[in-house]
Structure 1
Amino acid sequence: MAPDSHILQRLSRAVMRAEAALGGVLVGAILMLLLANVVSRTAGRPLIWTDELAVHLMVVLAFVGASLGIALRGHMAIGLLPDRLGPRGRAALALLADLSVLVFLLALALILWRWFDLPGLLRAGSGAALAEQSFNFVYTDPTNTLGLRKVWFWLALPLTCATALVHCLAALHRDMGALRP
């Protein structure tokens, strides 16, 4: 089976296309929000909620972009060592780098699991009860001007952690294929 036809590679490409589309929509939405803010302030009737929504969408965009960067291998790297290695050395170094990313993503997943505390939420029965029992306000903390709960924006973290894991596993599969004789 060709390395790019493996299910992980196909899944990673599909997720990457969805992330790129979502990133484009988010950039457009942020641009429109900032433009609406400028126009409304010029007209003397500022829409104060546009700033907050734009900031939250920028954070979501940053996480989507980080996952997309893993898929495209587009994060900053120093090429001095890989340029001096042969093909197998570069493949081994890529494997080491992708394993490091995997360890980071698994640690992030563990932190997010503890932060979102789904078992605690199910035991408590509601976000308010969870906050009362554990002082975990993840489900109840409101935005300042939008009147929404911040959890709707924070959900970008576990979702992009999951998509980044898909990209990382696809990269590890590619790395292992490059190391095979």
Structure 2
Amino acid sequence: MIGRISAGWARVELSLAAFLAVSITVLILLNVVTRSIGAALFWVDELAIYAMAWMAFLGASAALHFGHAVAVTILTDTLPSMVRKIAAKLVDLIVLIFALAMVWFCWRWYAPLALIQNGFDVEAFQGATFNFVYAEPTTTLGVPKYWIWSVMWVFSLGATLHSFANLISQGTEQQDAPS
């Protein structure tokens, strides 16, 4: 069950990452055209950077599901099959601990309970917590940065799901990414 949820979420992540990759290309081409005609759109650079960050985090999370993360296997390749499987499960456990730590850090960073306690009043929240996460806008887009930074939530929750699914799966074989 958890494996199917992980697979479905990984497909969503890859689809969004692919859409963002196309968007980045379009944004860069738009930037080239507008600059060449002397009518630069400065917000395009910023949007392309944020799209690239989102694409990278979504792709990294999906890579955990599909087993396509970068790995140095020179040591594990020499191990007996049973020890190799134990090492793979140990890696999955370490990734799960990292992902859970990321969820905790996001929780601390965004402090949703403190925001609720302050009646969703950002200024009261800032005064009570000295946390300005909800106050900073992007430079040219004017979008609150917490929307951009929310990719950390998406990544950490996706990485938690995928690493947990990998940890409890019976085999060490990973699924192939959809084509």
Fold shared per TM-score above 0.5: yes
Which of 124, 127, 141 aligns to 1:132? It is 127
Measured against aligned partners, the alpha-carbon deviations of 1:54-111 in whole angstroms (never above 9, x if no partner) come to 1111111111111011112212111122211222111100011011111111111111
Question: Which amino acid in 1 is paired with 2:136?
Answer: D
Name the Cα RMSD after superposition: 1.3
Query: What pairs up with 1:5-20 in 2 under 5 angstroms?
Result: 7-20=1-14
**In the alignment, is the contact (CA less than 8 A) between 1:105 and 1:164 conserved in 2?**
yes
Q: Distance in 2 between matches of 1:83 and 1:168?
A: 21
Q: Which residue of 2 aligns with 1:70?
A: 64
Q: Matched residue of 1:138: which SS?
A: coil
Query: What pairs up with 1:114-133 in 2 under 5 angstroms?
Result: 114-125=108-119, 126-133=121-128
In the alignment, structure 1 residue 47 sits paired with structure 2 residue 33: no
Q: How far 1:132 sits from its partner (Å)? A: 2.7
How many residues are paired up?
A: 171
Q: Which residue of 1 aligns with 2:101?
A: 107
Q: Which residue of 2 aligns with 1:169?
A: 164
Question: Which amino acid in 2 is paired with 1:86?
Answer: P
**In the alignment, is the contact (CA less than 8 A) between 1:88 and 1:178 conserved in 2?**
no
Which of 59, 82, 97 aligns to 2:91? It is 97
Q: Which residue of 2 aligns with 1:154?
A: 149
Which of 11, 24, 28 aligns to 2:18? It is 24
Percent identity of the aligned residues?
Answer: 37
Q: Distance in 2 between matches of 1:178 and 1:56?
A: 36
Q: Distance in 2 between matches of 1:170 and 1:66?
A: 16
**In the alignment, is the contact (CA less than 8 A) between 1:37 and 1:46 conserved in 2?**
yes
CA 1:140–1:90 in 2, change beyond 3 Å: closer, same or farther? same
Q: How far 1:178 sits from its partner (Å)? A: 4.2
Q: Matched residue of 1:60: which SS?
A: helix
Q: Distance in 2 between matches of 1:11 and 1:84?
A: 33
Which of 76, 85, 88 aligns to 1:82? It is 76
Q: Which residue of 1 aligns with 2:177?
A: none
Q: Distance in 2 between matches of 1:158 and 1:67?
A: 11
Question: Which amino acid in 2 is paired with 1:80?
Answer: I
Q: Distance in 2 between matches of 1:77 and 1:107?
A: 21
Q: Distance in 2 between matches of 1:128 and 1:25?
A: 36
